[in-house]
Amino acid sequence: MATTTSRDTAAVPTHADAGTPSSCQPSLAVTAAGCLRLEPSHFTNHRVDLDSLDYDPGTRKQIWEYHVNQHDEIRRAYITKGPHQPPLKKNKKSGMHNRSFQASWFEYNKSWLEYSPTTDMAYCLPCFVFHSPNGVVGQNKFTVGGFRNWKKVGGKDCYLQGHIGKDPNSAHRVAEQMCKDLMNQSQHLQRVVNHFTTEQIANNRLQLKASIFIVRYLAFQAIAFRG
């Protein structure tokens, strides 16, 4: 059997891990005989320490800004912590009517309402947890921009109740249900994944990457797919 040296192989550039530094990408080598040889490398993701998460709704990062592999883990951390409802010793007054956020509003909306003393605005935890940049789930006013029109809180047309919505399929109610489903371990994929060993996961990833690299190589070289 012929042996190959570094001069007998040529690395084939791949883009399977777009956005990842090239030093972290596995490489696909082509031997002098035209055979493919996968050279795996250790692929590591930047993980965020959950203990370092910012719980102030006015300054925290959006969940979609973190690495996708940690989204659900971060979501669970926020749901477990619960809405950010700090004790309010002195309320900030704002607006023409010199109104302020009232701590009593927490009592009627304790499962979702949040307040940031930093920005003096109200937010919604469930909508934040499942907010996406395209705005499909959640409402920007209670997730990114914040709400501060205090004069619209209370009365027949209370803005907080309007955010919840009467429709069972309102964005807020959908987000609340998604939070419940995520925390229900019997319905979550993580329960199944936890049964896999580290070796099995590594092998599965290697097989998937090899398949992707081979398909890309055949496409780049205009070689027919057979078998």
Hey, CA dihedral for 67, 73, 76, 78, is it positive or negative? negative
The model's pLDDT over 131-185, given as tens digits with 9 standing for 90+, comes to 988 764 446 789 988 999 999 998 888 999 999 999 999 999 999 999 999 998 7
Q: What is the pLDDT of residue 200?
A: 82
Q: Are residues 26 and 70 in the same domain?
A: no
Kindly tell me if the per-residue pLDDT of 196 is higher than 60: yes
The model's confidence at residue 12, banded by pLDDT at 50, 70 and 90, is very low
For residues 31-46, give the mean pLDDT: 51
pLDDT category, 96, cuts 50, 70, 90?
low
Q: Which residue has the higher pLDDT, 157 or 79?
A: 79
Question: In the prediction, which pLDDT does 190 show?
Answer: 61
Per the structure, the count of domains in the chain is 2
Q: What share of the chain is helix, strand, coil (3-state, %, to 5)?
A: 40, 10, 50
Residues 78, 163, single domain; the answer is yes
* Structure-token pair, residue 153: 């809180």
pTM of the model: 0.61
List alpha helices for 71-135, DSSP H: 71-81, 105-108, 125-129
Residue 148 pLDDT: 92
Average pLDDT for the chain: 79
- pLDDT score recorded for residue 156: 84
Full residue range of the structural domain in which residue 38 is found: 6-44+198-220
For residues 162 and 182, state if they share a domain.
yes
Q: Is position 97 within any domain?
A: yes
**Cα separations in angstroms, 12 against 120, 208, 210, 215, 219:** 54, 17, 12, 12, 12
